[in-house]
Structure 1
Amino acid sequence: MTSRRQLIAAAAAACATPYASAFFSLGSSPRDISPTVAPEFAGIEKWLNSAPLRMADQQGKVVLIDFWTYTCINCLNHLPAVKSWHEKYKDKGLVTVGVHTPEFAYEKSTKNVRSAIERLGIQHAVAQDNSYATWRAFNNRYWPAIYLIDKKGKIVYNHFGEGRYQETEKTIQALLAQ
């Protein structure tokens, strides 16, 4: 018998491409995934709101990676939560990185991304991943997608799509407390 979660995962896989937005909520908790070492940022064309970051330099910190693009309504809907977590926890050891991976050609323009960052009031680091190198390194397939990396540099949580804001924040708090 196929479970609801298996059906959702199968539907997601069927429509998942580098250009597919997530219209539903998928995710996993630390219990659901085997921690794997977070890949380095790769092929970043431009860093905005930050000097270039390296994953290797984030040891001892909790890192939130948010794959997004500025025209994705799902990304815009979940952005207030990402901004809130950044503000609440940046001084407690959370590093927030928005990996802007374009869905459309005009989203590759640094001028357009910078304008969106200003318009949306984004204060955290934004990595412009026009070549999908970091996207592929994380084996990501959705916008928005959140990955939480623990203080040892391992991916311990992910969530695709909108929702699960309380669960994600509780996971951030637990990781910071470790």
Structure 2
Amino acid sequence: MLQRVCLAALLALAVSDRLVGEDVQQRVDPYWMLLHEPAVVEALQLDAAQARDYQTLLDRLDVEYFPLRNRQREEAYAGLLKLVEEAQMELAKILKPKQAERLQQLQVWRLGDAAFLRESVAAKMRYTGDQRGRIERIIADAEQAAKPLYEARNRGEPPGPIEEEYRELKAREQRDLLAVLTPGQRAIWQDLHGAPFDVARLGQPRFKAPEFLETGEWVNGTGGTLASLRGRVVVVHFYACGCINCIRNYPWYRDWQERYADQPFSLIGIHTPEVDDERRIENVRRKAAEERLTFPILIDGRNENWNAWGNSMWPSVYVIDKEGRLRHFWAGELKWQGMDGERIARDRIEELLRETAGESRTTGASG
């Protein structure tokens, strides 16, 4: 079975993986991310009661998920594994057997060619030692060949030629992998996938964003709560007023605020100090005025919000949809080393502004 894969989808998946952390993500299967993918939820064909219970479960677990993102590697891994185990246990009560089987198949689709080396897959395929070695080399060579394409895409080069080269690369990789298998193994590989699924629809996970933790201190007036901003697209950016990487993002924040002034859009800053001088609210207020930052800024002097969101880098930019769900995340400067994070974030903002509130929901009941 040849899988249709495009680079844009894989890059989107890579961004969503970074919400967890690349090392942790490599050690935990894609189950957690898949649960938050609208295309996956649609494929499960939940009824109304299942959809309600499913979303309630994810919303509860997401509150525990975000703080794991800035924990030490082993602690983050243990915490995420606990969440996955709890999700599996609860979904065993929510999903019907056929739905649970489909979810397993979608994990294979999500892994792509990397699924060949999953222990659960290898156990069913019963590779010989020679087969396993050849498979490992094919996958490693393809990943190495794809690196320049990832870099070109991140630099904002025209996507058409890059996508075409990537599709050719993946097609060769898949043909080479299937050539290693016996006819019986190919049949098993196809059975593991079940019905066709378009992986290009992945890379759109939706997480319930953490609520702001009120500290009682704001600059430029209160921004309210995320709950009070439902129906609006919200950009939340964590920063420190003396951080040069943060300062380099200011022009884009000013542009967004002006560009979307007549639309349901809000910009909220959360100031988490990095050094002692940044702990003085008068300095935050003065520098905001100097930089013409007029949006509400929550003072996070004790890092409560920083930790609740699981940040590890100044600045961090989040784009939240009209239902209060995280739809895009960017860590660091938006224009860092030739990358065009500003354009990517702006495209996402405009996409979400076009959505109705109902379209922002992760789950939907089947007819």
TM class by smaller structure: 0.7 to 0.9
Instruction: Determine the structure 1 residue equivalent to 2:244.
Output: 73
User: Of residues 262, 272, 283 in structure 2, which corresponds to 1:101?
Assistant: 272
SS of aligned partner of 1:83: helix
Shift of 1:133: 1.0
- Contact 1:45–1:129 (CA<8 Å) still a contact in 2? no
1:154 aligns with 2:325: yes
Matches within 5 A, 1:6-155: 9=22, 32=203, 34-155=205-326
Instruction: Determine the structure 1 residue equivalent to 2:354.
Output: 177
Separation (CA, whole Å) in 1 of partners of 2:269 and 2:283: 15
Task: Give the greater-gyration-radius structure (CA).
Answer: 2
Name the TM-score, length of structure 2 as normaliser: 0.40
Greater strand proportion: 1
SS of aligned partner of 1:98: strand
Shift of 1:106: 1.8
Instruction: Determine the structure 1 residue equivalent to 2:343.
Output: 166
Q: Percent identity?
A: 28
Shift of 1:104: 0.8
Separation (CA, whole Å) in 1 of partners of 2:215 and 2:289: 20
C-alpha RMSD over aligned residues: 2.5
Instruction: Determine the structure 1 residue equivalent to 2:164.
Output: none
SS of aligned partner of 1:176: helix
| Structure 2 residue runs without a partner (length 5+) | 1-13, 24-68, 72-153, 155-200, 335-340, 356-367
Instruction: Determine the structure 1 residue equivalent to 2:198.
Output: none
Q: Deviations over 1:58-109 (max 9, x none)?
A: 1100000011111111001111101111111132011100111100122111
Separation (CA, whole Å) in 2 of partners of 1:145 and 1:69: 10
Shift of 1:44: 2.5
- Contact 1:45–1:130 (CA<8 Å) still a contact in 2? no
- Contact 1:46–1:128 (CA<8 Å) still a contact in 2? yes
Separation (CA, whole Å) in 2 of partners of 1:45 and 1:33: 34
SS of aligned partner of 1:92: coil
SS of aligned partner of 1:157: strand
Runs of 4+ in 1 over 4 A off after TM superposition: none
| Structure 1 residue runs without a partner (length 5+) | 11-15, 19-24
- Contact 2:223–2:297 (CA<8 Å) still a contact in 1? no
Distance 1:33 1:140, change over 3 A: farther
SS of aligned partner of 1:90: coil
Distance 1:39 1:139, change over 3 A: same
Separation (CA, whole Å) in 2 of partners of 1:64 and 1:57: 14
Separation (CA, whole Å) in 1 of partners of 2:278 and 2:246: 14
Higher relative contact order (CA 8 A, sep 6+): 1
Give the paired residue count. Answer: 159
